[in-house]
A and B are shown apart, each in its own frame.
Chain A
Amino acid sequence: MDNTLIIIAYAVYLPIALLLIYYVARNLFRNSEIFMLEIFRGKAEIAKATNKLFEIGFHLFNIGFVMLILKIAFIDSYQDLIERVSYKLGGVAIYLGVMLFLNLYLLFRGKRATKRNDERIVEIPNADYRPQ
C-alpha cells in the first residue's frame, strides 16, 4: 500500500516541479535579454548567446537539484502524502525564488559594471599623463 502512495507522490512532485522550473526560466530569460543588450552595449548576437548559455545553465542546475532531493522515505496515509508533497513543492518554490533574485542581482551588477566602464573610458584622455 505505501509503495503505491510513494509512486503517487513522485508522480505529482516531479511534473509540477519541472513545470515550475520551465515557467520560471521562460519568464526570467525572456525578460533578461533586455538587460543583456544593455550590458553588452546593444550587441544583439553576443547578448542573445550569453542569455541562452545562462538559460541552459539555469535549467540544468535547477532540474538537477529538484531530481536530487526527490527521495521520500516513508508515507503512511493520504494525509501524510499531501503534507509531504506540499512541503517539498513549497521548498522547491522558495528555492526557485531565491535563484530568480540571485539572477536579477547578477544582471543589475553587470549593468552597473558596464556603466562604470563607460565612465572610465571617458576619462582615459585625461589619464594619459605619464611622469618623465
Chain B
Amino acid sequence: MNFNIIGYIVYIAVIFYITVFIRKKFHSHGRVFLHEILIDHSVCEAVNNILLIAYCLLNIGNAIIMIKTWPQIETTGELIEVTSINLGQIILLLAIIHFVNITLLLLGRKRINKLSLKPSYHG
C-alpha cells in the first residue's frame, strides 16, 4: 500500500473528528457566550449557526486544498512527519481564528456597553 494513501486516511479521519465533534462543543458553549454578549437575543441563534457553517466550510475546504501540497512519501518517518505537519497547520489556523472570533465578540460587547450607558449585566 502506498504511504501517501495511509497518510490521507489518517488525515481525513482527524479532520472528520475535528469537524464533527469539536464543532458540537463550539456550538453549545458558544450559544451561552453569544446570549451574554448580544443584546438582541433574537439574532443569537442565527449568528451561532452562521459561525458554525463558516467553521465547517473553512475546515473542510482548507483540508481538501492542503492535500494537493503533499509530497510523494517514501518512508515511514516521512509519513509521520508530513501528516503531522499538515494537521498541525490546520489545527493552528483554527485556533487562531477561534481566538480572533472571541476577541471581536468581546470588543463588540465593550462598544455596546459604552453606547447603551447601562451595562447589560445589570439589566
Q: Which residues of A contact B (CB under 8 A)?
A: 3, 6-7, 10, 14, 40-41, 43, 45-46, 48-50, 52-54, 56-57, 60-61, 63-71, 117, 121
B76-91 vs A, CB cutoff 8 Å, 1 = contact: the mask equals 1100110011011111
Please report B residues at the A interface, Cβ cutoff 8 Å. Answer: 22, 25-26, 29-33, 35-36, 75-77, 80-81, 84-85, 87-96, 98-99, 102, 119, 121-122
Q: B102 touches which one: A53, A60, A68, A117 (CB < 8 A)?
A: A53
Are the C-beta atoms of A45 and B32 separated by less than 8 Å? yes
Known contacts A6-B77, A53-B29, A56-B26; is-contact A41 B85 (Cβ 8 Å): no
Chain A, Cβ-Cβ closest to B77: A6
Kindly state the separation between the CA atoms of A80 and B110 in the bound complex, as whole angstroms. Answer: 53
The answer on a CB contact under 8 Å between A61 and B29 is no
Are B102 and A57 in contact, with the CB atoms below 8 A?
A: yes
Q: How far is the CA of A50 from the CA of B103 in the complex (A)?
A: 12
Q: Is the CB of A67 within 8 A of B80?
A: no
> Is A57 in contact with B75, judged by CB distance below 8 angstroms?
no
Q: How far is the CB of B117 from chain A (nearest CB, A)?
A: 8
Give chain A nearest CB distance to B116 CB in angstroms: 12
Q: How far is the CB of B119 from chain A (nearest CB, A)?
A: 7
Could you pull out 13 A-B pairs where Cβ atoms are within 8 angstroms? A3-B76, A10-B80, A46-B36, A49-B29, A52-B25, A53-B30, A56-B98, A61-B96, A67-B84, A67-B88, A68-B84, A70-B80, A71-B85
Smallest CB separation, B118 vs chain A (Å):
9
B43 to chain A, nearest CB (A): 18
Residue of A46, A48, A68, A71 near B92 (CB, 8 A) is: A68
| A121 contacts B122, C-beta separation under 8 Å | yes
Distance to closest chain B CB from A83 (angstroms): 18
Partner of A60, one of B29, B31, B81, B91: B91
Question: Given A3-B75, A61-B96, does the pair A53, B33 have CB atoms closer than 8 Å?
Answer: yes
Q: A70–B29 Cα gap in the complex (Å)?
A: 31
